[in-house]
Structure 1
């Protein structure tokens, strides 16, 4: 039976089909892939520092390179995802990530490795914006915040699973084995996305490219819904919408505020993920043991992300964000008080990252509530891009502070201030959810 309804309303108000659940699951897995690909340099860092005899300042620069790539990738590829489609952008990002991860293994210097990490980060940045948008647009209204939060939860899942495997590999092989693992995992996802993830119905309805009606109806049948008789009318105002609208009078303030919020918290977030393996090695443990601490941090991150996701079904997003940002600052500071005890370091890393990652999950949920469909990927990408570009200074700053012979406790306290500043900015942000725009 053919119906006369807006396909976006059909998705919003209907029970999610098995294909929609599968799409969400794949986006969670892609989030996990992003998590491992990005953290691979952290697992490899002790081996790189040892082989090439580089100091902490130089290592901090290497650790920051993919963040630069993520900044540009999030902005540029986020815009492409809004113009050319989410699915196509994801496939391009996967291809770029697999090539650059493999070429990282051929590096013979810090400069070469830095170049390939920039390209890896570029693909990761575009991937993050696309999967966040497609998850929001395939979830129904009831479970949208939960689904987007679960996608963000994939990040520490990838770090934990990949880190566990990396810890085993590093016992017998050098740091390059971590990048081989990332290359193999990334390549596996290309056919999965190509065959199992359809284009976003929200995007097709909003952009109405050639054969949009036929494409939408084909997807509607796949998700067990009736096809529609015609495309919704696009008003003249909507037809002139542009990705530049994130700088329009109605959105520019929130764009600036949420970008600043992201910049500050992500500086705290990456302090744990980028520096813990090296900090643990400097306490006298080996690379495998250091990787295990980061694995526990990611386990804490998984638990924080999942619990935060479930709490969005009962509590307001802003109230949840306020709580976890405050606790993020507190426990990162407490992490700096730990002595050279592997059990204590693992436990406190897990607790600290429980809250830092819960805060990150909340930010991705904020993006989907703040930005309408026609700028959702670009708006998300812009905020992530500006935030990641700013956060490039995080590993470098931490490296510089360590080079001044400051204690771990002092550096941890200083880096925790990012979450405090993010909490202050959150006060000025008001939320309005309108996924159909």
Structure 2
């Protein structure tokens, strides 16, 4: 008579090669995050047209930026714990449906107040979708490839954001700014049936909740078809969640990392959304055409896409905290350089590309780092709350652009100030790396593995 064999799903995933099933999950989450990036960035690309149509001052335009970002912040903070309670897939589906519908309706906004309300609702769905896509991807990736695969998946955000620039440039002159919002709403609604059909629930989450072994075995058979799992019992690195997922972020072994992670996200997203929201408007004020301003700004996301891939590859081979620390510091230099080069479009595009490579690429890497830092029982909450706190920085960044324009700062002075938070993010990430290198045995820090249980 055969006896039951215990199988640790984390170890099984880690010791097997990446399967087509896992790559399909990466692709589906890539598409979710790409649409997320398109919708998030679209408002920045269409802002000059909205401002011209409704005759808005910079300070009146700022709340339209801020509303979507406030929704992103609220969505991340509210929906993250639900991902740890209800499941990653279920929450993703509801969030995709929500931000798709809200974006479609926002295309018919008749006043700035209506657009502000609808952008907030769109942001709620976006804020819940992104962290759970990161979490789901991370939980299906082997430790040795996790940084690269998660950052590659998250490149969807930068690809979608860059696509927003090209789509805006193509659509606005012929169909107006409303067509851009409509495109960003229809796309997720078309993707939704495919997600219902093909996207699986996290197998680590299923095990943590004590689901039927047969259900878990069917999923794992698609990752390791040669292993006999017919009589297996499954365990994960952590048992069934206990207590509040938010409270888990502040336990003794996670507290310092949580706070440093939050500081990094806040400063990083402040810079990213300051540039994404205001760069087209700033370039227009410097005499650049609307189409050129959109294309130069799109280089920020193109650079971020390449940066995410390169930095993700490096993070699997070198201490990831130090990779990000150096990249954030370099970002501060390149952002500051934009102000002196803004009058020459091709030089400005080069500086914007390099800034995107470093700051957007680092932010993608920080998402991968946060997913690896937190254990299964609070991973969705940890990633979501890091993003939620980061969204506070994005709101501050979107509002700061209007304030700095109203102050009448010169372009070099404005971009010098814009680059300073990136330096702070680099220092924060360096501090986290030093703290973890002291807390973990030598060799544990560079590879982003599942955190150990604490007795």
The TM-score by the shorter chain falls in which range? Answer: over 0.9
The aligned runs of 1:11-410 (5 Å cut-off) are: 11-209=13-211, 212-225=212-225, 226=227, 227=229, 229-232=231-234, 240-243=242-245, 244-410=247-413
Which residue of 2 is the match for residue 5 of structure 1?
A: 7
Q: CA deviation at 1:128?
A: 1.2
Q: CA deviation at 1:313?
A: 2.9
Which residue of 1 is the match for residue 425 of structure 2?
A: 422
Q: CA deviation at 1:224?
A: 4.3
Q: Does the CA contact (< 8 Å) of 1:205 and 1:231 recur in 2?
A: no
Aligned residues: 435
Residue 138 of structure 2 aligns to a residue whose secondary structure is helix
Q: Does the CA contact (< 8 Å) of 1:4 and 1:228 recur in 2?
A: no
**CA distances 1:101-134 after superposition (whole Å, capped 9, x unpaired):** 0111111122111111111111111111101111
Which residue of 1 is the match for residue 440 of structure 2?
A: none
**CA distances 1:48-93 after superposition (whole Å, capped 9, x unpaired):** 0001111111212211211111111111111111111111111011
**CA distances 1:292-344 after superposition (whole Å, capped 9, x unpaired):** 11222211111111111222232210120111011000000001111323222
CA distance in 2 between partners of 1:416 and 1:339 (Å):
15
Q: CA deviation at 1:409?
A: 1.4
Q: CA deviation at 1:235?
A: 11
CA distance in 2 between partners of 1:48 and 1:424 (Å):
38
Q: Does the CA contact (< 8 Å) of 1:171 and 1:288 recur in 2?
A: no
Structure 1, unpaired ranges of 5+: none
Question: Which moved further from structure 2: 51-60 or 308-317?
Answer: 308-317
- The TM-score with structure 2 as length reference comes to 0.91
**CA distances 1:346-403 after superposition (whole Å, capped 9, x unpaired):** 2221111111112102211220221101100101111110120233111111210110
Question: Which moved further from structure 2: 166-175 or 320-329?
Answer: 166-175
CA distance in 2 between partners of 1:311 and 1:93 (Å):
32
Q: CA deviation at 1:161?
A: 2.4
CA distance in 2 between partners of 1:235 and 1:396 (Å):
42
Q: Does the CA contact (< 8 Å) of 2:327 and 2:359 recur in 1?
A: yes
Structure 1 residues 238 and 87: CA distance shift in structure 2, 3 A: closer
CA distance in 2 between partners of 1:116 and 1:65 (Å):
8
Q: CA deviation at 1:345?
A: 2.2
Q: CA deviation at 1:178?
A: 0.6
